[in-house]
Structure 1
Amino acid sequence: MAALKYYALVVCIGLANYCLAQATIKGIVTDNRKHPLADASVYVKGTANVATTDSAGQFVFTVKEKGVQLIIASYIGFKETEKRIDINDTLVEINFVLQPEERALDPVVVSAGSFEASDKAKGASLTPMDAMTVAGNGGDIANSLRSLPGTQQIGDKEGLFVRGGTSEEAKQFVDGTLLKSPNYGSVPGIMQPARLNPFLFKGILFNTGGYSALYGQALSSALILETIDLPDKSSATLHIFPMSVGAGFQELGRNKKSSYGINANYGSYALYNEVVKQQPDFFHSPEYIETDANFRIKTSKTGILKFYTNYGYNRTGLRNANVDSSDLLSAFETRGRNLYANLSYRELLSNGWKIDAGLAYNYNKQDITNKLEDGDHHQLFIPGFPYSNQNNTLRTLSNFAQARMVFTKTLPHNQALRVGAEHFYGRDEYSSNDSLTTLKDNLTAVFAETDVYIASNIAAKIGVRAENSGLLNKMNWAPRISFAYRFTDGGQVNVAYGIFYQKPELPYLVQNRTLTYAQASHYIINYQKKANNRLLRVEAYYKKYKDLVTTQPVTANDGSGYAKGIELFFRDKRTFKDFDYWVTYTYLDTKRKFLNYPYALQPNFATPHTASLAVKRFFQDINLSANLSYTLATGRPYYNIQNDVAGKPVVLNEGTTNLYNQMNLSFAYLFNLFKKWKHKDFSGIGFGINNVFGTKQVFGYNYSYSGLNKMPITQPAPRSYYIGLFMSFGIDRRDDFINEKL
């Protein structure tokens, strides 16, 4: 959808190096006792030139770059060392002496994630480029994370479905504050794009469970996003695609202590839908308007103030065959407006204290209209069930605000204490036809957490969080604890336990204001090891749900469930030259009684087995970026649940969809369009195809009231395509395209 503009940015920004002469760099890496370090990494920052030392600590590689370059050497358990050299000769010798870290249990930082006894120990910390260059992600950060273990391949709805949890149970946070509406308004059977530019963030931390006490109101997982501080230099961007056009700029102050920027984008699928026929009849093709602005000010040597705001408009209208009658049509239309603003402040205080503060505001209005129509698209009003309730309007109007403050005290031996509080204010209006309900809530949370190093190779994070909701009139206490043990070979074991709470969603609170929090208890153990540019991670978990919302026969907290499984993640950037690939496998066993389920069932969004492969290659000689992703998953269950004569839900029909099987490809040819310009451009042509083989993906079925008819929920078209031009002026993003510390 509209977020393809960001994917275009990823695959199209210029990356060119036309120097033909090569130089050889060689040397030795040792520790402070002059012992050689085998398998240490040595690389030229901003390039794909990398070497690994042999058993004698020696390395050698060739480079095309000339002039002053930054050479970096790194090794597990030692401080990273940098040296600047001037490459003018054909042979350059440089030696490194690495100093040991002050403590053995230092975070193991890799491109796919950093793992320690914290959020990062149980998640995958990605650079924006890592996430966004996964083929087929559509420019959506959350969608790109579906290539990691623990997530389900859901093609008919936006968001993350993690370890047996719904997309509403996976929350996103920007600089600590909750991102209330991360995606455009939902459309039945079609994923909607993300609202925020992925290059707003310098880091992406995806927690599939057991995250820290600093975050709450997320039952299954937390996607933690941290925005950049200041850009490297001023820049401007322009993209032209059949589905989207946009432009923007970032201006860095002369003193390099402030910056500001503006972006504007317009997206419409009217032309695309004329060329690539869609299964729904779009009477208004998906349309998006988006603008955003930001400024950043360094308030001192250690302090920074950052502001970001985003406005978005969306409209989509479509018709499908009516499941209850072959002669009738069901029309759906949605229009929405969203305003988001985030203000954050960070500063070092005296005596080892640091403050992180944030304010966030979100206004969201969504109007939805459903109509029953005849073959000539005239609205019909037919008395009697099930037709009498197929003409309706729904409006949701939400005002959300959050204030947050965290104080961190640095303690001896790299230990730390964090204490903080936050307040959420929400005012929601829910209008269905002529019925209007207004709900207000003030939720206050306090939390404390400490990092403790029990021994040189044993760490712990212990925390607790307390929340009180005025609307629910109830307080909860949520302990969180995790341990990490590092082996001498660099491998690490993490164990975590935590309790997590979440308020019911708005439609359920409208039906019953006496609902309480849903609860999940997480038990997690994993092992991970990084060595020789490879990463292996294996994790097992168990989740227990209680007080889930059920809607039949009445809305109440009568639900429960469990989820357990094993996950595998392996990333390899060494075996095959210039290739970066990862493979994942997820086994999930889950059942839950919630919504209208009469008893515990496998949720219709969950499947037992999922495997994925992501492959990336940059062909430096021809400036071509190529990316492939492939996912294979067993079928999802589907149910026809109806109420019996006593008003109780029963399962009348059930089954399993066909195998999910999808391959995506994307390419970008990168070049300089205006070589003689003072501000050098980095341009590209991006093109790609999703679901290359045209596999018919079935995500479930819609049943008629009688239960005799069912309609498959499928993709709008067997394949989707994109092609377009992107230009970036004034900034070289080579460090983004070539994974750091390859």
Structure 2
Amino acid sequence: MRIRLILLAYFFLSQTLAFAQTILSGKVLDEKNKPLPGVNVFIKGSFDGTSTDVAGTFRFETTESGTKILVFSMLGFESQEVKVELAGGELTIPALTLREEFNELNTVTISAGAMEASDEKKSVILRPLDIVTTPSANGDIIGAFQTLPGTSTVGNDGRLFVRGGDASEVGIYIDGLKVANSYGTTAANVPTRNRFNPNLFKGTFFSTGGYSAEYGQALSSALAMNTKDVAARSQGDLSVLSVGAGYSHTLANDKQSISLSGNILDLAPYQAMVKQNFEWERAPHGWDLEIAGQTKLKKGGMLKVLARTEGGGMELWQALPGVEGKGVLVNLKNSYSYAQSNWRKAYDNGWSLFSGASYSHNRDQIRYDSAEIDRGNDLSHLKFTAVKDFSGRVSAKSGAELFIHSYSERMVRAELSRSFDDQEGYLFTEWDWYLSRKFVLRGGLRAGHSTLAKDTWLDPRGSLAYQVSENGTLSLAAGRFHQLPVDNFRVLNLELQNSQSKHLILNYLLQKEGLTFRAETFYKSYEGLVLFEGNPQSPSLLQNGGEGFAKGFDLFFRDRKSLKNTDYWITYSFVDSKRSYNQYVTEVQPDFAPKHNFSVVVKHFVTRLKSQIGASFSFNDGYTYTNPNFTGEMNSKTRSYQNLSLSWSYLPKPNLIIHGAVTNVLGSENIFGYNYSLTPDESGSYDSLPIQQSAPRFIVIGVFLTLSKDKNANMLNNL
């Protein structure tokens, strides 16, 4: 009897199982309709499944029943899910096509006009550490970028000049927010520096043209600097230099960090020991305080705040051609504040949101001989952006911005003043289409409106990239760019309109392990540049009547592989730039745009000495200027500019760095032009004085000590 019951139960169960079994079959293809072997095919939430064979087909049995999800997945392809009804028997799935999965690691990137400086990106030209250790930069962000293609070194200025454009044509941003007056205020022909410490940033994006629709109001270039996220550890950093000292303290945990830093600068002791070409009444001096905080929010996202305040000044005698004595006494005092906060978050549905606000305030008090000028500049920036990844192939970034801008000048003794207020609104959108892993298109629009200029404009921009070989990419970029005139011109004529530039750029980038080669050719046109009568100190009859062009090519080669413990890069740029602008009514080569620009940077680490030795050499073929003793505009040219700089960084202990650097080691007598007397002498000749460096060379020695629980931590660990 027991045996009969067992046989009956077995027979019943076997019939049930046979009835519940479903056989699934089908075929999987790629986008070219070719069989795709190795695809995992399985029922979601079960162990039933198989893989496709060499013909792309699959077949397997399952005891699952009802409505289920059939999953198709393979590395490098977008997974797909198909709803199926399992009711026994055989079920044939219609032929399915899997699409390639695109991401930053396996797709081509657009490199025309763009240079990343971030350890997080695939296409890296310079890293944050490179910016700090470039010998000629002396810790200045701009000094490091002057060794990159497309830039020109103007030694009596210190700002960033790009492809025949003036330094005012470069827009500078921190975390996507505009920074006004990002350079320290200085006297004529005394070079300035960027106000911000490179240790503050985790990376930078530098465009030599054709930049994103996200940025505007810059005819030449956009330099976007991104601050660090939450710090890795708590530590204190002490720096003592030959020109000042500073201390920074960071408190950090897994969720948040805050850093407070302060610095003092005074060149008086240094200038007392090193011969100067200028006669200083009071050497450049200053102080700054800075606070930066980062917080990871509970539901994801990041909140950052940054605030900085500083003050400083200088006083010197500026000699005048044809006039005996010291010349004119120039006294300059500057105060500056900058604050911003920004929030960003990425959502699981493909949306990424960003919002931020910043405020810049700059005040200059200038005494030039008997004249006293008080100058103020304020800029508020509100910004919101949204990025949507519709798929691995289509992504869009859109946003809105508002700028509130005020500027004022006051002649203190004469009790005269002038000012303006402007509100500028912008909308932008930019779309990326990945047509394949090797081919990407980008199109963008930026619309702007100025209440003061009473003008509305629209800038289309586009670019594309195609991977021509395993390591080589060809990119093309084009676009239109608008920029309102500089403040000291706008305040003289409130009806001045935008200047306009059009860019066309062709780029080839070759990158493999330890080697980078970049070649780029470009053409820029200019319309509506500001023209005036008189000289820049007292211009009159300002109007948008100037035009011009800039064309040329850049070459860049970097090698971190061939020579042991050695990293070097070589840059050459050719720029043919002519424009009618300012007081020049004919198209001339600007005094800030040398035709030939060459630089070499070499860094070698000597393990036995625990040292890094660096050298950099910069060269250009000279600067144009107008000699009134001859006819014509920009009719003369200085001899070539040359600067060899050396540096040595020694690590006696992991948390201690001793650094020394000297610029212009060979003492080249670099001349940047000439100042001429306003009237001729008795013989009919105009007297002149050369515009030269403030000193034959600059020497800096510094000691950097890090205090933390981790005795191996130092300032370089922050980069």
Partner of 1:147: 147
- Asked if 1:367 corresponds to 2:365, the answer is yes
Q: What displacement does 1:622 show?
A: 2.1
The answer (yes or no) to whether the contact 2:112–2:520 under 8 Å persists in 1 is: no
Aligned partner of 2:376: which letter? L
Compared CA separation, residues 717 and 182, structure 1 to 2 (3 A): same
Map 1:286-365 to 2 at 5 A: 286-300=284-298, 302-327=300-325, 329-349=327-347, 351-365=349-363
- Separation in structure 2 between the aligned mates of residue 229 and residue 175 of structure 1, nearest angstrom: 11
Give, in whole Å, the separation in 1 of the partners of 2:113 and 2:192: 32
Residue 686 of structure 1, aligned match among 636, 639, 659: 659
Q: Per-residue deviation at 1:727?
A: 0.5
Task: Evaluate the alpha carbon distance shift between residue 527 and residue 732 of structure 1 in structure 2; reply closer, same or farther with a 3 A threshold.
Answer: farther
CA 348–134 in structure 1, closer or farther in 2 if over 3 Å, else same: same
The structural deviation recorded for 1:246 is 1.1
Whole-Å separation in 2 of the counterparts to 1:739 and 1:488: 36
Q: Deviations over 1:418-473 (max 9, x none)?
A: 11001000111112453211210100000001111122311011100000011111
In 2, Cα distance between equivalents of 1:337 and 1:235: 29
Cα distance, 1:332–1:406 mapped onto 2, change above 3 Å:
same
Give the match's secondary structure for 2:270. helix
What do residues 358-385 of structure 1 show as CA deviations (whole Å, max 9, x unaligned)?
11001110111111xxxxxxxxxxxxxx
Separation in 2, partners of 1:430, 1:101:
60
Query: 2:595 is matched by which residue type in structure 1?
Result: P
- 1:78 to partner: Cα distance: 9.3
Partner of 1:411: 390
Relative distance call for 1:200 and 1:414 in structure 2 (3 A) is: farther
Counterpart residue number, 1:719: 697
How is 1:525-544 mapped onto 2 (pairs within 5 angstroms)? 525-544=506-525
SS of aligned partner of 2:695: coil
Deviations 1:402-429 (CA, angstroms, capped at 9, x unpaired): 0000001012124311110010001111
What is the Cα deviation at residue 693 of structure 1?
0.2
Match of 2:429 in 1: 448
Measured in 1, the distance between the counterparts of 2:504 and 2:376 equals 37
In structure 2, the CA distance between the partners of 1:310 and 1:734, relative to structure 1 (3 Å rule), is same
Whether the 8 Å contact between 1:219 and 1:520 is mirrored in structure 2 is yes
Partner of 1:28: none
The aligned counterpart of 1:377 is: none
Question: Cα deviations across residues 602-626 of structure 1 (Å, max 9, x unaligned)?
Answer: 0011111111100011222321011
One-letter amino acid matched to 2:243: M
Where 1:192 maps in the other structure, the secondary structure is: coil
Aligned equivalent of 1:517: 498
Q: Deviations over 1:202-225 (max 9, x none)?
A: 111110000000001111001111
Alpha-carbon distance change, 364 to 125 in structure 1, aligned in 2, over 3 angstroms: farther
Q: Kindly tell me: are residues 362 and 732 of structure 1, through their superposed partners in 2, closer, same or farther at Cα, counting changes over 3 Å?
A: farther
- Correspondence for 1:477 among 458, 470, 474: 458
Q: Which moved more, 1:718-727 or 1:319-328?
A: 319-328
CA contact (8 A) 1:501 1:519 kept: yes
The residue matched to 1:143 in structure 2 has which SS?
helix
Q: Deviations over 1:643-702 (max 9, x none)?
A: xxxxxx984773110111110001111122xxxxxxxx6112111211010000001111
1:239 paired to 2:239: yes
Determine the structure 2 residue equivalent to 1:705.
678
Q: Secondary structure at the match of 1:551?
A: strand
| TM, length-normalised to structure 2 | 0.81
Query: In the alignment, what sits opposite 2:44?
Result: none
Instruction: With the length of structure 1 as denominator, give the TM-score of the two structures.
Output: 0.78
Using the TM superposition, name which of 265-274 and 182-191 deviates more. Answer: 182-191
Q: Deviations over 1:565-614 (max 9, x none)?
A: 01000001111111100001000101000000121100011111111100
Specify the SS of the correspondent of 1:274: helix
Cα distance in 2 between the residues matched to 1:661 and 1:107: 42
Decide which of 590, 593, 597 is 1:603's aligned counterpart.
590
1:224 aligns with 2:189: no
Once the two structures are TM-superposed, the CA of residue 320 in structure 1 deviates from its matched residue by 2.7
Gaps of 5+ in 2: 1-36, 39-74, 78-98, 118-122, 534-539, 681-685
Contact 2:113 2:209 (8 Å CA) reproduced: no
> Take 1:550 and 1:477, find their aligned partners in 2: how far apart are those partners?
24
Aligned-partner Cα distance in 2 for 1:638–1:570: 32
Structure 2 contact 706–713 (Cα < 8 Å) conserved: no
CA contact (8 A) 1:162 1:208 kept: yes
Alignment: residue pair count: 608
Instruction: Give the drift of 1:200.
Output: 1.0
Aligned counterpart, 2:446:
465
- 2:567 is aligned with 1:588: no
In the aligned structure 2, how far is the partner of 1:239 from the partner of 1:184? 21
Q: Give the CA RMSD over aligned residues.
A: 2.7
Residue of structure 2 in register with 1:193 after alignment: 193
Q: 1:326 & 1:190 partners in 2: Cα distance?
A: 22
| Amino acid paired to 1:596 | Q
One-letter amino acid of the counterpart of residue 614, structure 1:
V
CA deviation string 1:111-166 (max 9, x = no partner): xxx85479558996532211221112122111210000111111011211100100
Give the Cα separation in 1 of the matches to 2:448 and 2:712. 43
- In the alignment, is residue 570 of structure 1 matched against residue 557 of structure 2? yes
1:249 aligns with 2:226: no
2:640 is aligned with 1:659: yes
Judged with a 3 Å threshold, the aligned counterparts in structure 2 of structure 1 residues 654 and 685 are, in CA distance, closer, same or farther, namely same
Per-residue CA deviation, residues 516-564 of structure 1 (Å, 9 max, x unaligned), is 0011000000101112411110000000000001112621001001000
- Structure-1 separation of matches of 2:495 and 2:258: 46
Partner of 2:131: 131
**Alpha-carbon distance change, 133 to 259 in structure 1, aligned in 2, over 3 angstroms:** same
What letter is aligned with 1:516?
A: Q
Contact 2:106 2:437 in 1 (8 A): no
Residues of 2 paired with 1:314 and 1:328: CA distance? 24
Q: CA deviation at 1:107?
A: 7.1
Distance in 2 (CA, whole Å) between partners of 1:670 and 1:444 is 50
Separation in 1, partners of 2:649, 2:379: 40
Q: Which has the higher contact order (CA 8 A, sep 6+)?
A: 1
Q: Look up the SS of the partner of 2:189 in the other structure.
A: coil
SS in 2 for 1:604: coil
Query: CA 1:499 to 1:410, structure 2 compared with 1: closer, same or farther past 3 Å?
Result: same
8 A contact 1:158–1:186 mirrored in 2:
no
Q: Tell me the secondary structure at the aligned position of residue 497 of structure 2.
A: coil
Return the offset for 1:242.
2.5
Distance 2:584 2:556 in 1: 33
Equivalents in 1 of 2:271, 2:454: separation in Å? Answer: 49
CA shift for structure 1 position 237: 0.6
One-letter amino acid matched to 2:603: K
Cα distance in 1 between the residues matched to 2:148 and 2:100: 30
Q: How far apart are 1:735 and its partner, in Å?
A: 10
The question of whether the paired residues in 1 share the 8 Å contact of 2:624 and 2:634 is answered with no
Q: 1:601 to 1:653 in 2, by over 3 A?
A: closer
Q: Report the identity percentage.
A: 30
User: Taking structure 1 as reference, are residues 436 and 477 closer, same or farther at Cα in structure 2, changes over 3 Å only?
Assistant: same
Larger radius of gyration between Structure 1 and Structure 2: 2
Letter of the structure 2 residue corresponding to residue 528 of structure 1: L
Aligned to 2:131, the other structure's residue is in SS state helix
**Partner AA of 2:669 in structure 1:** K
Structure 1 segments, 4+ long, off by >6 Å, are 121-124, 732-736
1:396 has 2:369 as partner: no
1:510 Cα deviation from its structure 2 partner: 1.6
Q: Deviations over 1:8-67 (max 9, x none)?
A: xxxxxxxxxxxxxxxxxxxxxxxxx99xxxxxxxxxxxxxxxxxxxxxxxxxxxxxxxxx
Aligned to 1:384: none
